[in-house]
Amino acid sequence: MFKILKKDKTTNARIAELSTKNGIIETPVFMPVGTIGTVKSLSPFEIYDEGFKIMLGNTYHLFLRPGIDIIKKFGSLRNFTRYKGMILTDSGGFQIFSLAKFAKINDEGVLFMSHIDGETHFFTPERVIEIQEALDSDIMMQLDVFSGHEVSKEIAEKDLDTTINWAKRSMSAKRKDGNLLFLISQGNFFEDLREKSARIMSGFGADGYAIGGLAVGETKEIMFRMLTLSVSNLPENKPRYLMGVGTPEDIINAVSLGVDMFDCVMPTRNARNGFVFTSAGTLNIKNSKYKSEIGPLDPDCGCFCCKNFSAAYVRHAFMTKEIFSQRLLTLHNLYFYQNLILKIRQSIRNGNFLDMLNVINIQKPSSLL
């Protein structure tokens, strides 16, 4: 199910293939975030055509709107959205603890109030699997507890124990064949808890393992220390998914530690705010120097935006709040991320991934990409 094709000699980077019932995912992979069924401003066809064969959907959001009964009528989230690729759905854990109006945990599950209409709902690990099976996600995630950035070790350990307990229950709850289930390694920012979490969960025989609770405000140094502890205690022969990360540099560094899968709103959210990734570094489309720029945003880019439109036109559309500008910039930034992933894979294949890693640790990664 997870076939490692090549391991890098000097780092823990690897290229692999993950088989799902709807197709094979090459890793390392970046999954764009399609919260309610499509990446904001794009059509599901555009996402697929940019080379993204797997997209993220959000269980919390989809449960609230349109609701699982609607999705059931279509048989799957894929049928509902018409996205031709594969879909990974997160469990909603992160949203419940960061977005919902309140969240009360007990051993059984978590009670929360919808941020949309204030209605209360109760999620258990079993219910979350059931919802994701109704979405027919290619990859389902367990319900976990996200404790936040600054909590005591006592709370962190209690939350971790709940997450471990829920991991076990999720494994038992799974009923459908073919839909993969990933567990989420947590442990907050405590080294021994990170180790404990990864070690215990590795024994549960899941289809893959995520590393959660990172990139939530901590320094990069702490993030990578925690990540290293998680990754090094997870099974080598299973896919490892770093949730919600990150910058191009973060991705290259995490790949070197042995991470295979990523998702992040960065390319898409930044696009909607006018922040653009280019081969010459990041730029802000609002900068007046692009006002009369006849050339594209990035002369070395082959995306729909850069192949067709001048920076001046994109800036004009952005400054006049034309929706089309968000689509252009989203397509551009996603193309940049896809290109980054292709270069990472290529460099592992060619045995020169270390060069790529060295470059980002000396200079801006943009000069490389």
Binding mask 279-298 for its own copies (x = CB under 8 A): ------------xx-x----
Asked if 138 is an active-site residue, the reply is: no
Q: What is the footprint of its own copies within residues 245-274 (CB under 8 A)?
A: none
Query: Catalytic annotation on 90?
Result: yes
Note whether 81 binds its own copies by CB under 8 A.
yes
User: Does residue 74 belong to the site contacting its own copies (CB under 8 A)?
Assistant: yes
Scanning 12-20, 106-114, 120-128, 318-326 for contacts with its own copies by CB under 8 A, the matching segment is 318-326
**Among 309, 336, 337, 353, contact with its own copies (rule: CB under 8 A):** 309
Is 200 one of the binding residues for its own copies (CB under 8 A)?
Answer: no
By the rule CB under 8 A, 38 interacts with its own copies: yes
Nearer to its own copies, 132 or 330 (CB): 330
Tell me the two tokens of residue 10: 């000097």
- Gap between the Cα atoms of 179 and 55, Å rounded: 15
CB atoms within 10 A of CB 174: 19
> Is 317 among the residues that bind its own copies (CB under 8 A)?
yes
Contact residues for 245 (Cβ-Cβ < 8 A; gap 6+): 214, 215, 223, 251, 254, 262, 264
Q: Closest CB to its own copies among 40 and 364?
A: 40
User: How many Cβ atoms are within 10 Å of 289's Cβ, its own excluded?
Assistant: 10
How far apart CA 339 and CA 302 sit, in angstroms, is: 10
- Binding residue (CB under 8 A) for its own copies from 9, 21, 65, 289: 65
Instruction: Encode burial over 195-223: b for 16+ CB neighbours within 10 A, e otherwise.
Output: bbbbebbbeeebbbbbbbbbbbebeeeeb
Whole-number Cα distances in Å, 88 to 32, 35, 85, 137, 196: 10, 11, 10, 6, 26
Q: Which of 8, 90, 138, 298 is catalytic?
A: 90
43 binds its own copies (CB under 8 A): yes
Question: Does residue number 310 form part of the binding site for its own copies (CB under 8 A)?
Answer: yes
Closest approach, Cβ 146 to its own copies, in A, equals 23
- Examine residue 76 and tell whether it contacts its own copies (CB under 8 A): no
Q: Which of 22, 27, 41, 366 binds its own copies (CB under 8 A)?
A: 41
Q: Does 40 bind its own copies (CB under 8 A)?
A: yes
Q: Which of 207, 250, 263, 298 is catalytic?
A: 263
Of residues 69 and 107, the one with the C-beta less far from its own copies: 69
For residue 137, how many C-alpha atoms fall within 13 Å in the half-sphere facing its CB? 27
Interface residues with its own copies (CB under 8 A) are 36-38, 40-43, 45, 61, 65-66, 69-70, 73-74, 80-82, 291-292, 294, 308-310, 312-313, 315-317, 319-320, 322-324, 326-327
Q: Which residues are catalytic?
A: 90, 263
